[in-house]
Structure 1
Amino acid sequence: MKQESSRVVKPIYEGTPPPSTPSYIPLSVFDKVTYDDHMAVIYAYRPPTPPNAALELGLRKALAVYREWAGRLGKNDDGDPAVIFLNDKGVRFVEASVDCTLDRVMPLKPSTSLLALHPSMKGVVELLQVQITRFTCGSMVVGFTANHLVADGQATSNFLVAWGQACRGLEIDPIPFHDRDIFSPRDPPRFEFQHRGAEFMTNKIKKDYASVDNIIRGDIVVHKVHFSSEFLTKLKAKASAKNGTTKSYSTFETLVAHLWRAVTKARSLGGFETTTLRISVNGRTRLNPRVPMEYFGNLVLWAFPSATAKDLIHEPLSYAAKLIHDAVSKVNNNYFKSFIDFANCKAEEEALIPTADANKSILFPNLEVHSWLRFPFYDVNFGGGCPYIFMPSYFPIEGCMFLLPSFFGDGSIDAFIPLFQENLASFKQICYSLD
């Protein structure tokens, strides 16, 4: 890998530029409870691909519409540390090359080699970073990192699509919805659900992550599993056959239920040990009135289905699918509004902190699910067509799963599952079992 250049690029405005005095946007209650870390994704494109200059120009145009990315996190005049300054300081743009064909490093597997395809995520002041890596065959890999405090997966994928539109000389459509002040508490506020222990906790157990990082992460393997559409159809039929109703479970519910059971078996959990899932739930379609899908920011809470290992393994697949379905269903309009009231009125008063912890290397005996199944990542077209590979970077966090549609476009799904090395062989034996 040879880095050709690394520079900061800033928005380019058509027409009247914004005021020169930096303004700021306070982070919303949803921004404040998410992960304070960068996330990274990898795209691969076959030739012909647009030149780097076209990608940079399109990025600068897109930043004029999504100004938050070109800003910086900081404190306002009142000392509130949770604001985004709209100061146009820019984003990191890296150009790199590799003296080989992309086929020689394909298929891109989840390993440390992926880290060279995007800028480092450590100690970054920029809220967004891009790396364009060229291969001798003409293929191009785009590595993208973004600060999760600024936007969730839905909002970030909308931006990436907009960047592609700008590169192709198109108007950005749809225009993002930027107002983060729409989440006001009710009067009087109503705390209808328990948010301590869900989104917030009273204290954090201090852990010397640095001293155990090499030991823990060195023993974790990120395993990629491809689930064909035929397998998923059989899985849904199996889950729905014994649910006692005419309603079938979704592909997401049945696949997560299957993986929850398979990982629990592979981990050899004790029968009475409890295992919990943490599942992201998009609030855009759940709040009433609905928040536009174009909302730019974070708008996610979590569902937490739990079961003992004994019940999860010995009960049929429909048992786990129902637990997931019921838990996600409860994160509804009432739940979101109760959270807004609690976060605005109680969290700061009680000095509560988020349960979301980006520094955690092990989730055992629990699991976390990041579903990218509905995000338009495959619509990111910079001018040479859509990507033929899209995947997360290397995140060796034991138990933190990513689900995304495979590049075959046939309804199949790729799952990226980090496990301890000692549990991997067992997981491989059972991950395709319908028993």
Structure 2
Amino acid sequence: MAYTHTVNVLEQCRISPPQGSVPQTSLPLTFFDLPILCMPPVQCLYFYELQVSKTHFMYSILPNMKHLLSLTLQHFFPFVGNLTWSPQSSKPEIVFVDGDSVLFTAAESNFNFNHLCGNYPRDVNEFSPLVNPLLPLPNAPYPLFALRVTLFQNSGISVGYSFSHVVADGMAGNHFMRVWGSVCSSLSGDTGLLSHSLPDYDRTMINDPFGIETTTLNDLKTINITQQSFILPCTPTDPSDKVVATFIIDLPKVEKLKKWVLRWFLEKAKKEPPFSLTTLVISCAYVWVCLVRALEGVDALSNVREHFLLPVDVRTRLDPPLPETYFGNCLMYSFTSIEKNDLLGENGLALAAEVIAKANPTIGINVLNGAENVLTNLSLARSERFVGISGSPKLRVYDVNFGWGKPKKIEIISSTATYGFVTLCERGDAAKGLEIGIALKKVEMDAFVSVFEDTLKTEKYFLHNSRL
């Protein structure tokens, strides 16, 4: 069914921290931030179900959100700053100057709110008008952050953000959203809440024992990111040919998959799994196997290997550990490969779980092993086919509450539609399990839905030849 809708801008303005509240500050990028220079902006939508009139939206909700956004941004100032690479610096840095601001847009839409919040396949282009793109402006610095709040009269509100990934990872970005939401949800507008769980910007605790920064800066030169040619990727503006859908892996399904893998190792390999069979590992393995099998049935490629990328938050795994409130990027990329025929075979799930688990970063100095190869691995993977994961249940995306309750639905549209990643987060209905977001072409999505549902119906599926 075709859906059409209009989005009308009601107000557009710039929001700054209170004047004089933040001194001029320079924040250098770390070796965690540098590889992200080549990635497009992050875009996420939070949908809240509530009945609200346009009058209440314009004269009560919006003024409160803008005022408290200003107060919140004084503590999350990198979003407001500008990314520069001065001749005097060996690497880029984020510079905040008093008066810097972010774009804030208020809009209204006549679109079907419940349709947008569905789990079934929906056109990814339907979500684009609900976020502000990050695009270069004439004679102006590249914007790093923008917000758009959209009213669906008597149905709900969406809050969409776009930010440059080089400023923050998902943990830091959602930290900002939770703090802003908690202040807005306070009946008294209690700005005292801002003193709790403030971001930490201390980069001096990040050690670089392997010279990762130097290696990464040299690798960036090979893709034309230098001091002389320094341009950030923009939000893609071309229409997409993909549909996005959400799949649920509940706790009984997780336990069923774990039992199958355990039984396979005991019966076939004559040993227990030589790795920790966590919910994250088994879920990632399952999605990887289903996706490769589905795509093989639609458009078989000549590649012989499949690649898998899992970003892992390592704040608490470093030596010394960083606080969970550290603001910036602090991700290691667990990268692994396997023969395609192994995934297509009867033991594909068990083998996928094993290689994903063994590639997971450990603790201490060893957590940084391979960090200097991030850009090289990405280049290798893109030459064939890889599945990447974005997000984590640890981000607590459904905890962002502006006083309207938890979000009805969340869509990380940049990860699915732009990166081609698979998104992963906790379930929004508070039940145990995971939400999996995937964007594919329509024929690919049909094949994936079939494989995903059929595979979960019976364990015996894995014992048969899985070629479709």
Selected match of 2:204 from 171, 181, 190: 181
Q: Determine which of 57, 71, 95 is the counterpart of 2:67.
A: 57
Counterpart residue identity of residue 66, structure 1: F
Q: What amino acid does structure 2 have at the position aligned with 1:121?
A: L
Mapping 1:163-174, distance limit 5 Å: 163-167=180-184, 168=186, 169=190, 170-172=192-194, 173-174=196-197
Residue 245 (structure 1) aligned with residue 272 (structure 2): yes
Q: Secondary structure at the match of 2:208?
A: coil
Q: String of CA shifts for 1:226-257, please: whole Å, max 9, x gaps.
A: 33333222122222333332775111111111
3-state SS in 1 of match to 2:317:
coil
Superimposed CA distance per residue, residues 101-151 of structure 1 (whole angstroms, 9 cap, x where no aligned partner): 634654374520101111123336321111111111052110111110000
- Correspondent of 1:292 among 317, 323, 338: 323
Give 1:70's aligned residue: 80
The answer for the alignment partner of 1:347 in structure 2 is: none
Q: What secondary structure, in the 3-state scheme, does the structure 1 residue paired with 2:428 have? A: coil
Cα deviation per residue 1:377-434 (whole Å; 9 max; x = unaligned)?
A: 1111112222121121254347421112231111232222233444333322211204
**Post-superposition shift, 1:100?**
5.8
**CA separation of 1:156/1:408 partners in 2, compared to 1, >3 Å: closer, same or farther?**
same
For the residues of structure 1 that align with 2:353 and 2:222, how far apart are their CA atoms? 32
Residue 55 of structure 2: aligned partner: none
> Are residue 328 (structure 1) and residue 360 (structure 2) matched?
yes
1:3 aligns with 2:20: no
Once the two structures are TM-superposed, the CA of residue 204 in structure 1 deviates from its matched residue by 4.4
Question: Tell me, which stretches of 5 or more residues in structure 2 are unaligned?
Answer: 1-6, 53-59, 226-232, 266-270, 462-468
Q: Give a deviation string over 1:58-85, Cα, whole Å, max 9, x none.
A: 1111111111111111133505451111
In 1, the alpha carbon distance for the partners of 2:283 and 2:406 equals 26
- Is 2:49 aligned against 1:46? yes
* Separation (CA, whole Å) in 1 of partners of 2:348 and 2:116: 40
Q: Distance in 2 between matches of 1:364 and 1:428?
A: 23
Equivalent residue in structure 2 for 1:419, among 431, 437, 440: 440
Is residue 2:349 matched to residue 1:317?
yes
Is 1:17 matched up with 2:21?
yes
- Mapped to 2, the partners of 1:77 and 1:101 lie a distance apart of 51
**Alignment partner, residue 134 of structure 1:** 151
1:259 aligned onto 2:272: no
- 1:76 maps to amino acid: S
1:363 deviation in Å?
7.5
> Structure 1 residues 127 and 361, CA, compared in 2 at 3 Å: closer, same or farther?
farther
> Which residue identity lines up with residue 62 of structure 2 in the other structure?
N
Alignment of 1:339-418 (within 5 A): 365-393=385-413, 395-397=416-418, 399-418=420-439
The match for 2:118 is 107
Question: In 2, distance between residues paired with 1:353 and 1:270?
Answer: 24
- 1:30 pairs with 2:32: yes
Q: Please, which of 68, 87, 101 is the counterpart of residue 90 of structure 1?
A: 101
Asked if structure 2 preserves the Cα contact closer than 8 Å seen for 1:367 and 1:400, the reply is: yes
SS at match of 1:51: helix
Q: Tell me the distance in 2 between the aligned counterparts of 1:370 and 1:257.
A: 14
Question: The residue matched to 2:417 in structure 1 has which SS?
Answer: coil
Q: CA deviation at 1:313?
A: 1.9
Task: Tell me the SS of whatever aligns to 1:150.
Answer: coil
State the shift of 1:307 in Å.
0.6
Gap change, CA 1:398 and 1:68, over 3 Å in 2: closer
* Rounded Cα–Cα distance in structure 2 between residues aligned with 1:316 and 1:10: 52
Question: Does 2:228 align with 1:224?
Answer: no
More helix by share: 2
Counterparts of 1:136 and 1:253, CA distance in 2? 41
- Across the aligned residues of Structure 1 and Structure 2, the Cα RMSD in angstroms comes to 3.4
Cα distance in structure 2, aligned partners of 1:354 and 1:83? 23
Q: What does 1:192-231 correspond to in 2, within 5 Å? A: 200=219, 203-204=222-223, 218-231=240-253
| Rounded Cα–Cα distance in structure 2 between residues aligned with 1:102 and 1:290 | 42
Cα contact 1:48–1:138 (8 A) shared by 2:
yes
**CA separation of 1:385 and 1:226: change in aligned 2, threshold 3 A:** same
C-alpha distance 183-319 of structure 1, shift in aligned 2 (>3 A): same
Go from structure 1 to structure 2 and tell me whether the alpha carbon gap of 1:200 and 1:239 turns closer, same or farther (over 3 Å shift): farther
Aligned mates of 1:99, 1:271 — CA distance in 2: 45
Name the CA distance, whole Å, in 2 between partners of 1:362 and 1:184: 30
Q: Residues 373 and 55 of structure 1: is their aligned pair in 2 closer, same or farther, counting only changes over 3 Å?
A: same
Find 1:119's aligned residue among 132, 144, 168: 132
Aligned residues: 407
> 2:51–2:153: 8 Å Cα contact kept in structure 1?
no
CA distance in 2, matches of 1:337, 1:248: 20
Give yes or no for contact 1:92–1:128 (8 Å, CA) kept in 2.
yes
Unmatched tracts of structure 1, length 5 or more:
344-351
Which of the numbers 136, 147, 152 marks the counterpart of 2:169?
Answer: 152
SS in 2 for 1:30: coil
- Judge conservation of contact 1:71–1:87 (CA < 8 Å) in 2: yes
Q: Give the deviation of 1:48 after TM superposition.
A: 6.0
* TM-score, with structure 1 as normaliser: 0.83
TM-score normalised by the chain length of structure 2: 0.77
Question: What secondary structure does 2:127 align onto?
Answer: helix
Judged with a 3 Å threshold, the aligned counterparts in structure 2 of structure 1 residues 27 and 102 are, in CA distance, closer, same or farther, namely: same
TM-superposed deviation, 1:373: 1.6
Report the alpha carbon displacement of residue 290 of structure 1 after superposing the two structures with TM: 1.1
